[in-house]
Amino acid sequence: MGWEVVFAEPDESKGAKRYSTQLKQQITPGETQTLVKEIHIKPEESTRHLSSGTRRVRLTRVEYADGSVWRADEERKQ
């Protein structure tokens, strides 16, 4: 499963900080789970985006037990 977290500055003219990650975790049909993944930030990297602006989480990819894959990018093309 892949997802990304996007932090946008309050001033939309400034770029957003994007973190993408993947996690292998089995989820059975009808089950709900909280997904957690640590994001490491370099010491020289600004952390202002963590406390200001908005945060959005987007699911980007799901691989099913039968081997089929759903990708968010493919859904947007339809």
pLDDT tens-digit profile of 6-30? 777 666 656 677 778 888 878 888 8
pLDDT greater at residue 52 or residue 43: 43
**Spatial CB neighbours of 55, under 8 Å, sequence gap ≥ 6:** 5, 6, 7, 8
| Contacts of the segment 15-23: beta carbons below 8 A, 24+ positions apart | 16/49, 17/49, 20/60, 22/61
pTM of the predicted protein model: 0.58
Domain positions in the chain: 2-26+33-77
pLDDT tens-place string over residues 62-73? 888 888 989 888
In the numeric block, the tokens 């759903």 are attached to: 70
Element (H or E) spanning 49, and its range?
helix 48-51
CA distance 14 to 46: 14
